[in-house]
Amino acid sequence: MSSTSRTDQPGVHGLFQRERQQAIVALTVDEGRVEVSELADRFRVTTETIRRDLSDLQTQRLVRRVHGGAVPWERNRFEPLLSVRSDHHAAEKGRLAKAAVAELPDTGSIIIDSGSTLNRFAEEIPAGTAIRIITNSLQTAQVLAKHDGIELTVIGGKVRKNTLAMVDGAAMAAVAPLTVDTLFISGDAASAETGLTTPYSEEASLKRAMINAARRVVALVDHSKFSADQLVRFAQWSDIDVLITNIEVAPTIIATIEATGTTVVVA
C-alpha cells in the first residue's frame, strides 16, 4: 500500500488517534528511537499523520522529535505510577481480587505477576495461607511479607520505578527454570479476538515466561482493559485457564472467550 493511499482511519491494529499515539510512545520508550516511515507502515497511515502525532506527543512532553523520527522525552514518563493506576476502577479490581482467592491452591506454589489488580489480590489472601509465593512486584512482596505461613520469593532484576516491578532479562532468567502450580497474571489490554496485550516487549517476554512456568493460569482483567489492543500480545485465550473479569464486560465477549475453552468467572 502506498503512502498516498493511506488515511487517518484506524490502521491494521484498529487503533484510532489516541490509541495510536499511546502505542507510538510505548514503542519509543521500548526501542529508544522510532522512524516516521516505519511507524507509517506499522499503523498504515500517512507519514504526514505520523509527523502530526509526533508533534502532538512532543507538545505533551512524551517524545522528542529528531530527524526522521523521535526519541523518548523521559524513559519512565509514559507508564503511569502504580499509585495512580491503583485508583482507577478500584471497586471493580476489588471484586476481581476477592473472586481470585477461590483459585488459590491449598498447597504448593504460585506466581503473582505485577500490577495494581494483582497487588489488590495479594491484599485479599487470607491469614494462615501456607503456600510458596513468587512475585516480581516489590509492592506485592511488601503486602505478603506480613504472612507468617507464606514462603515468599522476590524475583530479582532492575526495578521499574513507576511500577515497582522487575521485568528485565534478569527477571526472565529467574523465572525460566521454575515450575509452579498456578500463575495469577494481568495485562494492559485484552480483546476477545487477540487475547492479552501490553505496550512493552520486555514485559511481554516475562509474562510469557511466567505462563510457560505454570501448570494453571488465572488472569484478572477488569472491564476497562477490553478496549484497543496494545502493541505486543503475550497470551492467547487458549493459554489462560481461568479469566476473572467484571459483569460490565459484554456477554458477546465472554461467549467468544469461553468458546476457546477458557473458564470465565464474572465478579
Sheet-wide strand order for 180-185: 151-154, 132-135, 109-112, 180-185, 214-220, 242-245, 263-266
Residue 95 lies in a domain: yes
Sheet-wide strand order for 189-191: 189-191, 195-198, 232-235
Verify that 203 and 135 share a domain, yes or no: yes
Angle, vertex CA 131, rays to CA 127 and CA 137, nearest 5: 85
How far is residue 204's CA from residue 196's CA, in Å, rounded to a whole number? 10
Q: What is the pLDDT of residues 125-174, one digit of tens each?
A: 999 999 999 999 999 999 999 999 999 999 999 888 778 899 999 999 99
- 74-78 contacts: CB < 8 A, separation 24 or more? 75/29, 76/160, 76/161, 76/162, 77/29, 78/25, 78/26, 78/29, 78/199
Verify that 14 and 90 share a domain, yes or no: no
Strand, helix or coil for residue 133: strand
Verify that 22 and 130 share a domain, yes or no: no
Q: What is the CATH number of the domain that holds 239?
A: 3.40.50.1360
Q: Which residues are CB-neighbours of 190 under 8 A, at least 6 positions away?
A: 196, 197, 219, 221, 225, 226
Domain that holds residue 241: 82-266
Give me the tens of pLDDT residue by residue for the chain, a chain 267 residues long.
333 344 444 443 445 788 888 889 888 876 778 899 999 998 889 999 999 999 999 998 888 998 889 988 864 444 544 444 444 568 889 999 999 999 999 999 999 999 999 999 999 999 999 999 999 999 999 999 999 999 999 999 988 877 889 999 999 999 999 999 999 999 989 999 999 999 888 899 999 999 999 999 999 999 988 877 888 899 999 999 999 999 999 999 999 999 999 999 999
Confirm if 265 and 246 have CB atoms less than 8 A apart: no
Strand, helix or coil for residue 66: strand
Quote the number of domains for the chain.
2
Which of 72, 97, 115 finishes a domain?
Answer: 72
Q: What is the pLDDT of residues 85-112, one digit of tens each?
A: 444 568 889 999 999 999 999 999 999 9
Residue 42 lies in a domain: yes
How far is residue 64's CA from residue 58's CA, in Å, rounded to a whole number? 5
Residue-wise DSSP of 213-225:
HEEEEEEE--GGG
Residue 180 lies in a domain: yes
Could you give phi then psi for residue 197, rounded to 5 degrees? -135, 165
Q: Hey, what's the cell of 172?
A: 526472565
Residue 77 lies in a domain: no
Verify that 151 and 186 share a domain, yes or no: yes
Verify that 141 and 245 share a domain, yes or no: yes
Verify that 96 and 189 share a domain, yes or no: yes
How far is residue 119's CA from residue 138's CA, in Å, rounded to a whole number? 10
